[in-house]
Structure 1
């Protein structure tokens, strides 16, 4: 039995707590608010309809002694979390997706900078929290620069229904999880605007090419992007309204109201990527322009369709 501390009682953190408690691990779920209420009711505020197993301890005390700490907070909140506490575990696993706007770093790299003495890994890939909590088969990427440590984490964190594949390419795994959200916003906009499934398929294909260009420029291995952390997650988030980024893109195209509390990591990533003039990222540029009101959807579409014809 492994002692697991899960920091963050959002949908994904809650789903992991449920899954690992069912697998027999000693699980403590940390939340910064409403801990006594959640501990008593066993109801998950961010994952309606899911009941926390009695084996999951819930606390607002960050001082949790554990073998592995999983950091399941949004990327833009991760730096603040690390500033306020240091997880008491020798192995730290980031479960966030995106690029930290303050530092320009991916989540695992951010954790490594803050906790240099710990083994740090990145957990990412195609997954909806509701599916994990329901015990549906899910496969994810676990990226750790130290392959022996990665293998140990892979063994500890895999369950009969949650299968982990490992890689040592942490940068590639971070970028796959971040960049696919940008493309998911664009895919949502395409469907929201009524452009059809053929246009969405073209967008996904060209978006994947854009993801690989950015990964190559960052020194990642392009083949990492063809795995679960890149292509797998891209397919999931571009094809389902369960994706927050997809729903955000659809709302941008239609003018529908957007929940201000909804986490949309792809927006932060698009702005960060678009700000780098050395990168050829027309889709990220378009998403940032649309979200910031610099172009409307018709103008964005005209800009993309007017790009020069070229070999694929």
Structure 2
């Protein structure tokens, strides 16, 4: 790794701040956060993260709202919601050098007229003109990373040089970085678990018990594996941090926003707007699976409930009435 490597983290939310906090532990890096809001920049400069007000003892971050900083970046960590990726990738193309690598840190799909939905590496490849790309994913809550609690993540890219460099970036941090080459499997695992976690929340909110939730998580993992294998991903990726690891964490309780979304639905409560992004994940995942002619019963049931106004009890009954096949 180059000394004084310039890192730009695009996104000043809780996960962007968490990654920047870990990156700045490496004194060979110059790390700054690029944000869109002057207020967010001011908050981060004094160590305040709006989404996590209980965390109060952080030193201030190096922050800018000038996109021209991308021109000096050696590596860019893109840590913005999926809905912001079109504009963000256009900014990267406009300002960053041709060889500047991009690390995708969000989880989800982008709507696509042809395939229904594109996983983030697929979408990025269509816009970044051959630029090196990686995915950083795995079971992780931002508040725990900001508190320097141990966390294991996967860096996946077709470039083993890039994943090795990412691992070095975090070598002084509390993150343990594993490396892989299955970039589609890594992105797919993180996207599908969002929807399965909503289902786990609905299951818990309906009072169906721990046995039912365990069965749902297991069959959700099978759905993830089915789609991954169809798209040429490695099943070992889905049984690792990016698949099973992230799924187990996201289905463990309301610390997970997607499970909290499902819990509210299952209990018949109003869903806070901050949780409602799971609706989009369910719709785009279903669209992609139907394009590929892959059946995902749990994911389709979630889409029926959150986007098509299906009755929760009736939809659960229909799922449970399906004939159980060979495992």
Indicate yes or no: 2:21 matched with 1:14.
Answer: no
Which digits, 9 at most, give the CA deviation of each residue in 1:262-295, with x for residues without a partner?
363x432321232343111000110000002431
Alpha-carbon separation, structure 2, partners of 1:241 and 1:40: 30
Shift of 1:153: 2.3
RMSD, aligned α-carbons: 1.8
Shift of 1:218: 1.3
Indicate yes or no: 2:66 matched with 1:67.
Answer: no
Q: Which runs of 5+ in 2 are unaligned?
A: none
Alpha-carbon separation, structure 1, partners of 2:228 and 2:41: 43
1:96 pairs, out of 102, 106, 124, with: 106
2:316 pairs, out of 298, 301, 309, with: 301
Moved more, 156-165 or 137-146: 156-165
Residues 202 and 264 of structure 2 are in contact (CA less than 8 Å); yes or no, is this contact kept in structure 1?
yes
Residues 7 and 72 of structure 1 are in contact (CA less than 8 Å); yes or no, is this contact kept in structure 2?
yes
1:63-212 mapped onto 2 (5 Å cutoff): 63-64=68-69, 65-86=72-93, 88=96, 90-102=100-112, 104-212=117-225
Shift of 1:152: 2.3
Indicate yes or no: 2:62 matched with 1:57.
Answer: yes
Indicate yes or no: 2:286 matched with 1:274.
Answer: yes
2:251 pairs, out of 196, 221, 238, with: 238
Residue 46 (structure 1) aligns with:
51
| Corresponding pairs, count | 310
Q: TM-score, normalised by structure 1?
A: 0.93
Shift of 1:76: 2.1
Instruction: Specify the SS of the correspondent of 1:83.
Output: helix
1:52–1:30 distance in 2 versus 1, CA, 3 Å = farther
Indicate yes or no: 2:298 matched with 1:283.
Answer: yes
Shift of 1:60: 1.0
Residue 35 (structure 2) aligns with:
31
Q: Which runs of 5+ in 1 are unaligned?
A: none
Shift of 1:226: 0.5
Q: TM-score, normalised by structure 2?
A: 0.89
Residue 311 (structure 1) aligns with:
326
Moved more, 23-32 or 11-20: 23-32
Instruction: Specify the SS of the correspondent of 1:26.
Output: strand
1:2 pairs, out of 2, 5, 30, with: 5
Shift of 1:299: 0.8
Instruction: Specify the SS of the correspondent of 1:261.
Output: helix
